[in-house]
Amino acid sequence: VAVTLRDVAAHVGVSPRTVSNVVNNFRYVSPATRILVQAAIDELDYRPNLLARSLRQGRTAVIGFLLPELDVPYFSELAHEMVEHAHTLGLTVLIDETTGSQEREVELLSVLARARQVDGIILSAIGLSGRRLAELRPTLPLVLLGERTTGSTVDHVTFDNVEAARQLVKHLIDQGRRRIAVIAAPASPGFATSNLRMRGCQSALWAAGVPYLPELTVRTPRWHRTEGYRAMAELLDRPNPPDAVVAFNDVLAIGALRLLHERGISVPQRIAVTGFDNIEDSRFSIPTLTTAGPEKADVARRALDVLVERIAGHTGPPRAVALPFSLQLRDSSLSSR
């Protein structure tokens, strides 16, 4: 039932070539024929079959965005920016979830890359190490998010996780906190986000001569609210509870806030809390949450720009884009207000 280029051509009495020229806004079509053809297109309600076009041209104008989980606010906010900015570039976004497992990251990456369904891929990697990635030798333009791997062989966009963590902990120390707990996400090999943030924390403690208390570090299996809630409970049940908690993302922190509320422990008076990511919710939580992170719009914009450049054929050494980030000091960590 679908109207094809041929149908339009036959209807007007020109060759398919001419119709194609009109559809693609090529020069060298006489105004008269252009009008004629356009009329036929409108009349028959013709739309080019993008599949056929993609097959022919070898490009699809679709990019794949692989992220751990769409229902984690950081990623949904990022996905939003991605879709929005992609749209301004005339691109569509195909989203798939990796659940943060290395196998699934590898699998999706290779499936997407080989199937020619997308022109390039943006991967928010959690489990994948730089080495493993290098072995894969991705066949498609690829931009990595959220992890800075030394000697990485692919483009990536990130921000200075170590420095951000350092500044957050320094802020807590400046506020007089001395027993600083950490709610960390799973340890991964290599330079995973969680490890970088841990390093920043320790560096700040060391610089201030405040002891790092390993017994006040809890590692959670995932980055969810529930995990933050559980981890906080665990911390309180230990002898000598903390006077501050650095959670490695905002939802973990929000889970912790919830538990503290239930136990009747006031924040920040008795325990200060900080997060990471600056998700929308951190401005509305009770109390509002101190956090740090880059602008998500920046992340999306830069990642797409680098990717588009590669798709356009740019060759050259892998780019490492480090975005600026900012600290948002809010009620959850400000003692004197």
Partner DNA sequence: CTGTTAGCGCCTTCAC
Partner DNA sequence: GTGAAGGCGCTAACAG
Binding partner of residue 5 among DNA, a copy of itself, none, CB cut-off 5 to 8 Å per kind: DNA
In the set 52, 187, 207, 286, which binds DNA (CB under 7 A)? Answer: 52
CB-nearer residue toward a copy of itself: 96 or 305? 96
Stretch that binds DNA, among 19-27, 136-144, 172-180, 203-211 (CB under 7 A): 19-27
Which position among 35, 39, 55, 207 is part of the footprint of DNA (CB under 7 A)? Answer: 55
Among 35, 39, 43, 49, binds DNA (CB under 7 A): 49
312 binding DNA? (CB under 7 A): no
Q: Which residue carries 């963590």 as its tokens?
A: 165
DSSP 283: G
Does residue number 23 form part of the binding site for DNA (CB under 7 A)? Answer: yes
Question: Judging by beta carbons within 10 Å of its beta carbon (0-12, 13-18, 19+), is residue 208 exposed, middle or buried?
Answer: middle
The long-range contacts involving 70-73, CB below 8 angstroms and separated by at least 24 positions, are: 70/95, 70/97, 72/223, 72/224, 72/251, 73/250, 73/251, 73/277, 73/279, 73/280, 73/281
Site stretch for DNA (CB under 7 A), options 5-13, 75-83, 90-98, 272-280: 5-13
Could you count the other beta carbons within 10 Å of the beta carbon of residue 106? 17
Closer to DNA by Cβ: residue 70 or 115: 115
Q: How distant, in Å, are the alpha carbons of 68, 96, 322 from that of 223? A: 10, 18, 23
Q: What is the H or E stretch that residue 182 is in? A: strand 180-184
Q: Which of 40, 41, 43, 48 binds DNA (CB under 7 A)?
A: 48
Measured between alpha carbons, how far is 181 from 186 in angstroms, rounded to an integer?
16
83 φ/ψ angles, rounded to the nearest 5 degrees: -60, -40
Instruction: List contacts with a copy of itself (CB under 8 A).
Output: 1-2, 47-52, 54-55, 60, 62, 69-71, 73, 76-77, 79-80, 83-84, 87, 92-97, 110-111, 114-117, 139, 225, 229, 254-255, 257-258, 261, 280-281, 283-286
Q: Cβ 10 to DNA, closest distance in Å?
A: 10
**Contact flag: residue 30 with DNA (CB under 7 A):** yes
Strand partners, 245: 181, 273
Phi, psi of 182 (to 5 degrees): -130, 130
Residues contributing to the site for DNA (CB under 7 A)? 2, 4-6, 13-18, 20-21, 23-24, 28-30, 32-34, 46, 48-49, 52-53, 55-58
